């Protein structure tokens, strides 16, 4: 099995080293294409306004001065010699990618780009809760549990338009309380905020970040599972259509179509 690894924390990230350990337990044909610099929060950004440069870091190992999406696309179409990968693994992210944050995540985006290229893909994240004053991610938990979970996922299979989102709880490997297949949750409060500061020349600047406070997630969600120290497995689908609203709007516009404004052009 040929595996491509990427992440959003950068080529030198501790989590990428953890992912390489995970991949080594699955295959001896492992390629790495990761951002030169951290790209957290990049989501599915694709670099279109400037050229991309690639730095070879070793055999089958590349640093790209772009986003996770750039990395996967470049690797599959240009950097990998021979057959395209059989699997894309993205991570292991320093911090959880849960609930609505999956739409911001560069880690999840790396997996989505693999899926878009017709390759099964899995995003992996190691939870790190600031509201618990945690500062170091327990990557050994992901390393210990991920290989067996990935093998089971590959044996089971999943739809070609789905990516798998794995989140490991912030406990030691032997303290994990189980594995749960979950749905994407939503927090009960808005977590992002902007902090205004002033530099030494009296000019304003801003930091964007997340509030360090827990939510109260429902049972069966990715949030609840990781809060309760279980590994969360969530199948994600990028079709964002809301079917109930779709039906309602179709009915409304079919019943009474809005008038088409006249352009004033002569007939």
Positions at the binding site = 8-9, 40, 93
Is omega for the bond preceding 164 within 30 degrees of 0, making it cis? no
* Helix, strand, or coil (residue 56): strand
Alpha helix stretches (DSSP H) within the chain = 14-24, 68-74, 106-116, 139-156, 222-227, 243-255
Annotation: binding site for a divalent metal cation: 8-9, 40, 93
Q: Are 90 and 115 in contact (CB under 8 A)?
A: no
* Helix, strand, or coil (residue 47): coil
In 62-76, which positions are buried (b, 16+ CB within 10 angstroms) versus exposed (e)? bbbbbbbbbbbbbbb
Q: Are 201 and 161 in contact (CB under 8 A)?
A: no
Backbone angles phi, psi at 24, to 5 degrees: -65, -25
* Helix, strand, or coil (residue 148): helix
- Residue 154, classified by CB atoms within 10 Å of its CB into exposed (0-12), middle (13-18) or buried (19+), is middle
| DSSP conformation class of 15 | H
Q: How far apart are CA 87 and CA 122, in angstroms?
A: 8
């Amino acid at each position: 099995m040929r595996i491509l690894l990427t992440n959003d924390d950068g080529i030198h990230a501790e989590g990428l080293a953890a992912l390489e350990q995970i991949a080594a337990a699955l295959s001896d044909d492992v390629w790495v294409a990761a951002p030169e610099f951290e790209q957290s929060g990049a989501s599915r950004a694709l670099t279109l306004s400037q050229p991309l440069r690639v730095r070879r870091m070793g055999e089958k190992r590349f640093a790209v001065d772009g986003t996770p999406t750039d990395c996967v696309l470049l690797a599959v179409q240009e950097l990998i010699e021979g057959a395209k990968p059989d699997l894309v693994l993205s991570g292991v992210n320093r911090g959880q990618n849960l609930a609505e944050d999956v739409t911001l995540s560069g880690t999840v985006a790396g997996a989505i780009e693999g899926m878009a290229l017709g390759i099964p893909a899995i995003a992996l994240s190691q939870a790190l809760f600031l509201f618990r004053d945690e500062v170091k991610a327990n990557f050994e938990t992901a390393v210990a549990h991920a290989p067996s979970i990935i093998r089971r996922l590959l044996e089971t299979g999943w739809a070609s338009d789905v990516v798998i989102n794995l989140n490991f709880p912030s406990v030691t490997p032997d303290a994990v309380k189980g594995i749960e297949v979950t749905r994407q949750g939503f927090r009960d409060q808005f977590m992002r905020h902007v902090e205004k500061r002033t530099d030494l020349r009296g000019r304003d600047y801003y930091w964007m970040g997340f509030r360090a406070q827990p939510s109260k997630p429902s049972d069966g969600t990715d949030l609840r599972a990781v809060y309760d120290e279980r590994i969360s497995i969530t199948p994600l689908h990028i079709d964002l259509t809301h079917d109930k609203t779709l039906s309602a709007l179709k009915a409304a516009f079919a019943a009474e179509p809005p008038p088409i404004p006249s352009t004033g052009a002569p007939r």
